[in-house]
Amino acid sequence: MVACGACRGTQFAPFFQAREWTQSGRYLASAQSAISAEPIKLLTEYCRQCGLIRQVPGAEVRLDYTGISRDTAKQLPDYAHRVIASMAELGVGADDLVVEIGANDGTFLRAMREAGYKNLIGVEPSKDLAVRAAGSGFTIMNEYFGRSLASRMVSQYGAPRAIICRHTLEHVPDIQDMTEGMAALLAPQGVAFIEVPDTDWVISELFAHEIWDEHVTYFRSGSLVTLLQNSGLVPLRMERARFRDTRNLLAWSVRAPASADTPPALLDDITTAADLADFQARWDRFAANLRAAVAAAPRPLVAVGAAHIQLNFLNYTGLDGDVDMLVDDDPVKAGHYAPLAFAVPIRTTTQVLETVRAGTVLRTAFPYPGWEDRICSALAPYGVDSIKPYNFK
Ligand SMILES: [Zn+2]
């Protein structure tokens, strides 16, 4: 038994398991391209002590981020500027060293620079993304972050007054190595800002499509606080922030509290241990209801979107053999095939609007309901109906 990365507990129980046909991010060139004979199993479990959810150690879907080049330039939320403003409120000056861990293509560092920060360093393991971020003029360490890199960075650059780590911690196998590295790197008066998806939202909304092979760990507020406190960081303030159809946890921590008599503004978990134990059964009931509705719907079946959230959804609901076509305008996907139970063609919105004259649209765009509406209203005159999946919860 591998101990819990947050509380070191050793009692785990099954959370959610599903299968997928390939790792995320793989698209096929032709309808004849081979799909793996055996689907991959995605197995997750939760810590009975602190509620941390993780992929079962030893059975994780291992990804090599050095070769991944998916940028997140379009993923900067509207509250990012509030996060940047909070740095000044917490005493981070324009000339102070700021390190971003998981700097991606430099999107957030550029926003920091626009806000006046001049001394910015990024850490990014992807070769391609590191080159792109460095192209914006930042010093980028093209490595994975942990205690080892932290000690080298302290000797090379000194201790940063602020560390930013957005949507990175949930991807790493050894969470404590990353958070202890942050505590070791941070200046004594410094602040660490960490942002992760809020799994309370996934559980309460039954959004299993957000459970993803790239995410090794799934945090709720309680397990994130436990991890920080066991890593030498003191969480001061937490918030929940909606972004499209998801919700994130934002946590500001310091090395030592400024004043012992100011209670930190932390958050309680919203969902309970019983909700964790019941998640799989709720999902299975929902998926069976949805499959029954889809079985009765006219064909072809067209699902909106071909990104990981849609492929997760189709894999996990058991609709992976039912969709005839996916709609996606991303050039990496359109014209290719999605590896589900068979190679499913991916068409652009324009192609779908010009050719589909019967059947059913499955509204799986999730963060982009306006896109679904546009497709559905254009095809409605031909008698094409639509199904909104989560209406079957
Ligand atoms: Zn735990």
In the chain, which residues fall in CATH 3.40.50.150?
63-268
pLDDT, one tens digit per residue, over 77-100 is 999 999 999 999 999 999 999 999
Class of domain 276-392: alpha beta
In the chain, which residues fall in CATH 3.40.50.720?
276-392
- The rounded distance, in Å, linking the Cα atoms of 315 and 385 is 22
Helix (H, G, I), strand (E, B) or coil at 59: coil
Q: What letter does residue 298 receive in the DSSP assignment?
A: P
**CATH placement of domain 63-268:** 3.40.50.150
Listed residues: CB within 5 A of ion ligand 1: 4, 6-7, 9, 47, 49-50, 52
Sorted by sequence, the CB contacts under 8 Å of residue 234 that are 6+ apart come out as 228, 253, 254, 255, 256, 257, 264
Percent of the chain clearing pLDDT 90 (strictly above) = 88
C-alpha 232 – ligand 1 centre gap (Å): 16
Specify whether the CB–CB gap between 26 and 67 falls below 8 A: no
C-alpha 53 – ligand 1 centre gap (Å): 8
C-alpha 48 – ligand 1 centre gap (Å): 7
- The rounded distance, in Å, linking the Cα atoms of 142 and 132 is 11
- The rounded distance, in Å, linking the Cα atoms of 47 and 390 is 28
C-alpha 253 – ligand 1 centre gap (Å): 19
Sorted by sequence, the CB contacts under 8 Å of residue 75 that are 6+ apart come out as 107, 167
> Considering the entire predicted model, what is its pTM?
0.95
C-alpha 192 – ligand 1 centre gap (Å): 22
Sorted by sequence, the CB contacts under 8 Å of residue 371 that are 6+ apart come out as 304, 349, 365
C-alpha 37 – ligand 1 centre gap (Å): 35
pLDDT, one tens digit per residue, over 315-327 is 999 999 999 999 9
The tens-digit pLDDT sequence of the chain (393 residues) is: 899 999 999 999 999 999 999 888 889 999 888 777 789 999 999 999 999 999 999 988 877 777 777 777 677 899 999 999 999 999 999 999 999 999 999 999 999 999 999 999 999 999 999 999 999 999 999 999 999 999 999 999 999 999 999 999 999 999 999 999 999 999 999 999 999 999 999 999 999 999 999 999 999 999 999 999 999 999 999 999 999 999 999 999 998 776 666 778 899 999 999 999 999 999 999 999 999 999 999 999 999 999 999 999 999 999 999 999 999 999 999 999 999 999 999 999 999 999 999 999 999 999 999 999 999 999 999 999 999 999 999
- The rounded distance, in Å, linking the Cα atoms of 133 and 124 is 9
- The rounded distance, in Å, linking the Cα atoms of 278 and 21 is 25
